[in-house]
Amino acid sequence: MKNTKPYYAVIFTSTQTEKIEGYTEMAEQMENLAKQQEGYLGIESARNSIGITVSYWESLDAIKQWKQNSEHLFTQQKGREQWYNLYKVRICKVEREYEFEK
Amino acid sequence: MKNTKPYYAVIFTSTQTEKIEGYTEMAEQMENLAKQQEGYLGIESARNSIGITVSYWESLDAIKQWKQNSEHLFTQQKGREQWYNLYKVRICKVEREYEFEK
């Protein structure tokens, strides 16, 4: 991930329905699509009982552009219809960070 | 989760070592301890190849207090020694949020 500051994080938390057909392909496709967006910095994902995906962006404008990407809009619609029981999106400004590595 | 605004999110991403003995108990214990902290709003966690835990707080000061909690400090140390290969902590201000529910 590029080390640009300040930057933004989109926290997407969700719980899935039973109808997860096509979900994995979609997730992969959306990740590839996001990578091509202007201002994209990175993405991290984990899922067990709930799913958490955090994507990182250079600006609020980049996040807005990504939300309005036509292919992404289509997938958001399909997500509401099929894959998700609920989701929550939080747009956040990263104020500080630190890390540890062995 | 209480709907207070503005509020803060701590995004904790990590990869684990092979020595995960005691990890689950610790995670549960830390969650219970966090819940007793002043300014705690909620926590969400998921893990498969990486782990993502997001905790939510009323203020930067509440986050600071939690980081300095003595039992938590001990666990942070043990985390670096035993459970984690790497982790990254991002302190974020939640600027906007929206949700969907079926």
Topology (CATH level 3) of domain A7-94: Alpha-Beta Plaits (3.30.70)
For residue B6, the model assigns a pLDDT of 87
Q: Work out how many CB contacts closer than 8 A connect A with B.
A: 109
Over range A39-55, report the average pLDDT: 96
pLDDT tops 90 at residue A42: yes
In this complex, the residue of B44, B87, B92 whose CB is nearest that of residue A94 is B92
Contact check, Cβ <8 Å, A46/B48 = yes
In Å, how far is B8's CA from the nearest CA of chain A?
Answer: 8
Distance CA A4, CA B51 (A): 23
- How do the domains of chain A map onto residue ranges? 7-94
For B57-89, what is each residue's pLDDT tens digit?
Answer: 999 999 999 999 999 999 999 999 999 999 999
Question: Å from A43 to nearest chain B CA?
Answer: 11
Q: Residue B48: closest CA among chain A residues belongs to which residue?
A: A46
What is this model's ipTM? Answer: 0.92
What does the alpha-carbon distance between residue A1 and residue B12 come to, in Å, rounded to a whole number? 16
Q: In this predicted structure, what is the pLDDT of residue B29?
A: 95
Residues in contact with A67: Cβ distance below 8 Å, sequence separation at least 6, in sequence order: A73, A76
Chain A CB contacts of B97 under 8 Å are 88-91
Reported as a single tens digit per residue, the pLDDT across A49-100 is: 999 999 999 999 999 999 999 999 999 999 999 999 999 999 999 999 999 9
Q: Which residues 45-74 of chain B have a CB within 8 Å of chain A?
A: 45-52, 54, 60
Please give the pLDDT value at position B73.
96
Comparing CB atoms, the residue among A45, A88, A99 nearest residue B88 is A99
d(CA B25, CA A45) in angstroms, rounded, equals: 23
CB of B91 within 8 Å of any CB in chain A? Answer: yes
Say which of A13, A96, A99 has its CB closest to residue B44: A13
**CB proximity list for A14: less than 8 A, separation 6 or greater:** A50, A51, A53, A84, A85, A86, A87, A88
Contacts of B44 in chain A (CB under 8 A): 13, 50, 52
Confidence label for B2 from pLDDT (cuts 50, 70 and 90): low
Q: What is the pLDDT of residue A6?
A: 87
